[in-house]
Amino acid sequence: MRYLVQRFTPRLDRRWVVALVVVAVLAIAATFVRWGDPLPELELLVLGPDGQFHQEISVPVEWADTSGLDGDAVARFRLILGVRNVGHGAGQPQRLVLGVPARYRLTDAHGQPMPASRDLASPLVRYVIETRMETVEPRRMPALLPAHEVLWLEAIVPRYYCVELADSIPEFVAAPPPPVEAMSQLRVLYVMEGPELEERQTGTLTLQLDPSLLDVAMPEQPPSFPMQVDPELAMPELENLRHVATHEVRCGEPEAPMEMLSVVWEGEAGSRMIVLEYGGAPRKYLFDLDGDGVIDRETWDPEGRGAFTATRQARLPIPGFLLPRIPSARYDLAEFQGIPPDSLARLDPLAAAMEGPGPMPLLGPVRRDPPTAPRAPAPTPDAPAGVPAPAEEPPAPPAPPPAAPLGRPIPDDG
């Protein structure tokens, strides 16, 4: 018996070893062999200062545009986005959803705010972009988003918050300092969707900003003056008022702002009257009597009956978010002069923008005044007695011509 065991034991060991090797080889082969159709794996990238696309970049200070800003924006940065396919199959992302922190705002190449929505349960603002992209092949150079080759990212630092007093009357208070360190570490969530994508492609873009650009001086608390009830004093006489703009504003903590309507009127010598509407009705009038950009008087309805008789002196710089938005300057192509030619070759859709005698200079803001309103119409809810009501809105101007890459206008054929 012992002889039989010793004779067959080595053979059994060798057979088991061979069987284990075969199983291991099959397991490894199953790991690398894809069953069914190959799937795409898309990544959203942003162009960095080295001319390469990355999911995490450090934004140079030189890229910050701090001129011509309005509202509570303190700086804006350009974003050039691309899509890379690191999977094994082709994919077409037709829609891009970006989740941006509420202290930032996205604008297009013309400086206009992108349509956005937000959920009170989320600290992110949701931007939906129809990319109109072609199919992205795997293992190729990143493809640019043709719908929005350049986006501007604006950092928002409110100087003043709004609080709601009795009878829904808004009041301005100085805002606290911003969380500079947290804001400088910007993370943008993205989701790419399309009919050819079996699964949503998700990820995160990380942008490191210079904290010095966000650390701005905050105003002191505005002085408070005694209230007076005087109908004549409450409504200063302003000559030749004309309607400038009516736009929605968000005042207060960016994560939970107070939403109002700002109706801006201008008179002679730059004087202004701003009507604040909240809850569907005018709540307060702000007057800049000498056109120096400082509110000299504010008037409100103390009893909620439509009689604006309560007034007081004020000394408050007009918060920028109450005024019409100033168009952004064109993108400065000089930023591309330091990028090596081999890196520029990755940006084929931008090649046309690099041709010509030199980079396009930054353009100043363009101001277009609406037509003058009638001088003395009947009073309306938006304008008290003696103040002209807004004229009928003129027909919408023709759509601007399509913009070349980086916002450079396409020259006319003539």
For the segment 26-50, what is each residue's pLDDT rounded down to a tens digit? 666 555 555 556 788 899 999 999 8
pLDDT given at position 183? 94
Both structure tokens of 336? 């591309």
pLDDT of 99 over the 80 cut = yes
For the chain, give every domain's residue range.
42-213, 228-322
With vertex at residue 178, the alpha carbon angle to CA 173 and CA 181, rounded to the nearest 5 degrees, is 170
DSSP for 309-337, written as a single string: -EEEEEEEEPPGGGSPPPPPPPP-GGGGT
Alpha-carbon distance of 167 to 297, in angstroms, equals 19
What backbone phi and psi angles, to 5 degrees, belong to 65? -105, 115
Alpha helices in 248-400 (DSSP H): 341-344
DSSP for 264-275, written as a single string: EEE-GGG-EEEE
CB-neighbour burial class of residue 27 (10 A; exposed 0-12, middle 13-18, buried 19+): exposed
* pTM for this entry: 0.66
Question: Across residues 312-334, what is the average pLDDT?
Answer: 75
- Whether the Cβ atoms of residue 306 and residue 289 lie closer than 8 Å to each other: no
pLDDT given at position 257? 84
For residue 154, the one-letter residue type is: E
Q: Give per-residue burial for 47-75: e unless 16+ CB within 10 Å, then b.
A: bbeebebeeebebeeebbbeebbbbbbbb
The neighbouring-strand residues paired with 281 are 278
338 vs 50, which has greater pLDDT?
A: 50
